[in-house]
Amino acid sequence: MGHMGRREYDQPCSLAFALDSVGERWSLLIVRELMLGPLRFSDLDRAVGGAPTDILTKRLRDLEADGVVARRELEAPSAVTVYELTALGHGLERPLLELARWGMELQKVEDVVGLAPSSLPNALRVILRPPPEAEFRLGLRTEGQSFSLHAADGWIEGSRGSLGDPDLTLSGSPFEVVAAVVTGPAGVPSVEIEGDTVLLDSLQAMVAVPDRLREEAQMLVESGGLLL
């Protein structure tokens, strides 16, 4: 049974089923933001970036109907409603990060310069490929927001806020932090580094980005383009 008013492919193919659920405009960007944890509607609206409110409401309703997103009331005193991914929704994390890796082939470095704060943790999850034996906790601080990454078993979990005691904390604009990881911190002195600097060196060895992007980033750092 289809949902009223939703375009559907009506094909017995699992890819078509997936696209029926999350292939509408803005749907996967909602999932992208909720990958880092629950959000109130207003914060989700801001983080998704530019979706008309009525469309966002409709997409959330459709994602709820498909069991990808759930609504939850937080306990008093806050008593606010948040949206979060279900277990089914979290199943999209790996394919989405792989899709984002593919998307890097279409990107230019200047596209990354305007990276939004909430995109920083997922950007690092996309470019870093830790070996299975690597385990580390990384704190990120950017434009008044904090995020945490935890790597284990070749996978990086991402979340909003600070978690425990990170091995390494990087602070700076989203692009500066990405550049410090990709090209090394020497060319990005504005990034604050606290903790295990040896880990920062090993992160550089885990970076997997198209050579063209790496070269463009290096050139931008060397030309002082980051100071703009």
Show the domains of the chain with their CATH numbers: 14-90 (1.10.10.10), 108-223 (3.30.1050.10)
What pLDDT shows up at residue 164? 83
Band of residue 224 on the pLDDT scale cut at 50, 70, 90: confident
What pLDDT shows up at residue 197? 92
- Rounded CA separation 76/88 (Å): 27
In sequence order, what are the beta bridge partners of 155? 152
Amino acid identity of residue 35, one-letter, is M
- Rounded CA separation 152/61 (Å): 34
- Rounded CA separation 32/224 (Å): 31
**Strand segments (E) across 120-191:** 136-142, 145-152, 155-160, 168-171
Band of residue 228 on the pLDDT scale cut at 50, 70, 90: very low
With residue 69 as reference, give the H or E element that holds it: strand 69-73
Write down the mean pLDDT value for the chain: 92
Q: How many CB atoms lie within 10 A of CB 99?
A: 12
Joined together, the tokens standing for residue 211 give: 């050579």
What pLDDT shows up at residue 187? 84
**Percentage of residues in the chain with pLDDT exceeding 70?**
96
Residue 5 has pLDDT above 70, yes or no: no
What pTM, to 2 d.p., does this model score?
A: 0.92
